[in-house]
Amino acid sequence: MATNDPNRIQNIPNVGELAVLIQLMGSINSGIIELKGLMQTINSTNGLIIEQIIKMNGDLKKHEQDTLETRALRSDIDIKTLEAKDKEYELELGKIRKAQEDARTALEAMKSGRGHTEEKMQAIVKREISADKVDIRGVKLSSRQFTYVLIGVIILLAMTIIFLPDAVAQILLRMAGAISSTPTP
């Protein structure tokens, strides 16, 4: 019997195990390729989120600088105009903070690996934002924003006392009843 016959079936020990091992290695290889694609997607998403956070931070610093410069240059402070500007600043600051909160929530959801859809992430953001609110005459602020608004009001009051001491003294004296509101001849 010829041992070099190419049509003869050869007995190789553990052929079935080798075939299963080759299939398993092929599955592992395809899984690694998919994992690389997912990692690239996650890295690019993280990069976009970080760029957005940096942009929002720059916008917030510019907005705060503009606010300080505007208030420092005013000599005749019109209270109603100032209140209107404060509401505008407050709305813009709220928009910026909301965008930062959205980005933070999206980043946390992405890190947790839950794979939330955009609608679910928006629902999470809305729920988190509305959970902790303080209502001041129809304006809803989170407790953190309320703290900043309160600090801003205190700073504004201190600037008014420093820059307009005569007007503050007149107001306090009128409130105490020492000076009547009608001028005497």
The CB density around residue 96, as the number of other CB atoms within 10 Å, is: 15
Residue that has been written with the tokens 């859809």 in this structure? 117
CA 119 to chain CA centroid, Å, is 17
61-99: pLDDT as tens digits:
888 888 777 766 665 566 677 777 888 888 888 888 888
Which among 67, 64, 99 has a CA at the least distance from the CA of 85? 67
How many whole angstroms separate alpha carbon 160 and alpha carbon 74? 11
Which among 174, 149, 170, 151 has a CA at the least distance from the CA of 161? 170
78-88: pLDDT as tens digits:
667 777 788 88
Query: What is the pTM (predicted TM-score) of this model?
Result: 0.28
126-179: pLDDT as tens digits:
766 665 666 666 667 777 777 888 898 899 888 888 888 888 888 888 888 866
How many whole angstroms separate alpha carbon 145 and alpha carbon 134? 9
